[in-house]
Amino acid sequence: MAEHGSPGRVSFGLGDALRLGYDYIKKRRDRALINISSIALGIAFLSTLLFTDSFYRAFIAAGGAHLSIESYQYWLMFVALIVSVVGITNAVLIAVYERYREIGTLKCIGAMDRHILLLFLVESLIQGGIGGILGFFLGIIGALISTGGTTGFDIILKVPATEILILFLGSTFLSIFLSVIATIYPARHAAKLNPVEALRYEL
Amino acid sequence: MSFDMIIQLEDLTRHYEMGGVQIKALDGVDIEINRGEYLSIVGPSGSGKTTLFNLVGGLDRPTRGKVYIDGVDISQLDAYELAWLRCRKIGYIFQTFNLIPVLTALENVSLPTVFAGVPRDEGLEKAQKLLTSVGLGERVHHRPGELSAGQQQRVAIARAMANDPAIILADEPTGNLDLNTGMEIIDLLHGLNRTRGMTLIAATHDLKMITASDRVVWMRDGAIEKIERG
């Protein structure tokens, strides 16, 4: 009880948010899996198309016949990503309602609005990262299944390593970005909750 | 202002608009609470107990009047300072326990120390000690769902103490407990009030709770009806 004097500052840094967010994901695995698979499927679609394109180019460079992706397939991918984002927004919104009292309690023990926001965004960042990596590898498998019959399955060895690396980083970052974007609205809603009402809330 | 006064409420008033009707949840409450005092607030539901707690804890803003904690008018505090007040100076205990269901007892108790900026190991060590002191040293890795109601309230008490607050606000702490468990919780709170010198303010409509307290505040319709020595 040394702090009878002037008020100080509460602290909740990125490290704290990461640790707590990781705990939440681990312990609410079902909800996290829905979000991860939602973004993973969208990214898998993207990754399939991009790898199909890479495989075609590698095939042509190796003297094969001219193959190309139809433009409507890119439109489909775009739609798939939007569906992912909407799905995540919906799932996180439900999670916020489930955690109403919990958010109220956190505010009672010293959490500020920005800490609640940070916590939800960090959770979504972790989920987006995992979903992105999963989706990337699913996409490679998808592309091999769809083109392997024509180009040969060893086509992946003919794609330059730097190109694979760029695709990996690109799809992972896009996944994190989309996941965070999808979470901003529900997370802001959670952060602005009035603790008095949140504590009174019965599910 | 005397050094021994920790909370001072001045004409504290909170009105709500609900469906065009004005509800006077709290209507001009004046009281001074001393450091280390055990104060019971008794009254039927709807008499303004919870509203009073929300205002003292800075969770809600009064329509009129002031709350001074250690001589500081809390309406002058910014969001950071209010959060600090709730984190370091005040410990909350609820009727419904409000533990985080996915975290273990140990993690629940150490959570306030995270916001207080205490290093993780130190916070966990503190939580272990507190859980031992409330008699749950063997159950620190259990989740709330694996504990009885009385044990959950003990965890909640340990959590409220995590940052050595000067004030404990307990809103109907025995409301969800059976008679014996309720008495144990009252004894535990009373013991903490005596040994640690924490100011304990407990709202209740359970008359068994008030026998141990220094003063009893009777509330009705948002106002103080009478104050009795315990």
Residue pLDDT, tens place only, B79-127: 899 999 999 999 999 999 999 998 999 999 999 999 999 999 999 999 9
pLDDT in tens, B157-175: 999 999 999 999 999 999 8
Within 10 Å of residue B221's Cβ, how many Cβ atoms?
Answer: 14
- List, as ranges, residues 139-158 from A with C-beta within 8 Å of B: none
A4 within a domain of the structure (yes/no): no
Asked, for residue A37, whether it belongs to a domain, the answer is yes
Q: Considering the domain boundaries, does residue B17 fall inside one? A: no
Structural domain that includes position A134: 30-193
Residue B27 inside a domain? The answer is no
Q: Is B162 a member of any domain?
A: yes
Q: Which of B100, B112, B166 sits opposite A102 (nearest CB)?
A: B100
pLDDT for the residue B131: 97
CATH code where residue B109 lies? 3.40.50.300
Q: Is the pLDDT of residue A5 over 50?
A: no
How many independent structural domains does chain A possess? 1
* H/E run at residue B18: strand B5-18
Across the interface, do B116 and A24 touch by the CB < 8 Å criterion? no
Q: Does residue B165 belong to any structural domain of this protein?
A: yes
CB atoms closer than 10 angstroms to residue A6: 9
Distance CA A170, CA A177 (A): 10
From CA B130, how far away is CA B120, in angstroms rounded?
A: 15
In a domain, B128, yes or no: yes
Contact A181, B76 (CB under 8 A): no
**How does DSSP assign B175-192, residue by residue?**
TTS-HHHHHHHHHHHHHH
| pLDDT for A2 | 40
For residue B178, give the DSSP letter.
Answer: -
Interface contact B84-A7, CB threshold 8 A:
yes
Whether residue A83 is contained in a domain is answered as yes
Q: What is the CA radius of gyration of chain B?
A: 17
- What are the start-end ranges of the H helices in chain A? 14-27, 29-61, 71-98, 100-108, 113-151, 161-191, 195-200
**A142-163 exposure pattern, b = at least 16 Cβ within 10 A, e = fewer:** bbbeebeeebbeebbeebeeee
Average pLDDT, stretch A92-98? 90
Provide the 8-state DSSP code for B36.
Answer: T
In this predicted structure, the answer to whether residue A1 has a pLDDT above a threshold of 60 is no
pLDDT computed for residue A9 by the predictor: 76
pTM for this entry: 0.89
Given a cut of 70, whether residue A202 has pLDDT beyond it is: no
Is residue B139 one of the residues assigned to a domain?
A: yes
Test B116 with A10 for CB contact under 8 angstroms.
yes
pLDDT tens string for chain B (230 positions)?
Answer: 445 899 999 999 999 888 889 989 999 999 999 999 999 999 888 899 999 999 999 999 999 999 999 999 999 999 899 999 999 999 999 999 999 998 999 999 999 999 999 999 999 999 999 999 999 999 999 999 999 999 999 999 999 999 999 999 999 999 899 989 999 999 999 999 999 999 999 998 777 778 889 999 999 999 999 999 86
Closest by CA position to A36, among listed A46, A27, A25, A50: A25
Query: Alpha-carbon distance B147 to B149, whole Å?
Result: 7
B81 in reach of chain A (CB within 8 A): yes
Q: Is the model's pLDDT at A86 over the cut of 80?
A: yes
* pLDDT at residue A6 is higher than 60: no
Domain assignment of residue B16, yes or no: no
8 A C-beta contact, residue B143 and residue B101:
yes
Contact B192, B157 (CB under 8 A): yes
Task: Render pLDDT for A116-169 as a digit per residue (tens, 0 to 9).
Answer: 999 999 999 999 999 999 999 999 999 999 998 888 899 999 999 999 999 999
Separation in Å, CA A19 to CA A12, A25, A119: 11, 10, 10
Cβ–Cβ under 8 Å, residues B149 and B72: no
Q: Which two tokens stand for residue B51?
A: 């509203």
Which of B57, B98, B197 lies at the smallest CB-CB distance from A101? B98
The answer to whether B115 contacts A101, with C-beta atoms less than 8 Å apart, is: no
CA–CA distance, B102 with A25 (Å, rounded to integer): 10
Q: How many domains does chain B have?
A: 1
Residue range of the domain that includes B166: 34-59+78-229
Q: How far apart are CA A77 and CA A97, in angstroms?
A: 31
What pLDDT score was predicted for residue B3?
Answer: 55
| CB pair distance less than 8 Å for B111 and A112 | no
The per-residue pLDDT of chain A, averaged, comes to 90
* Position B71 in a domain: no
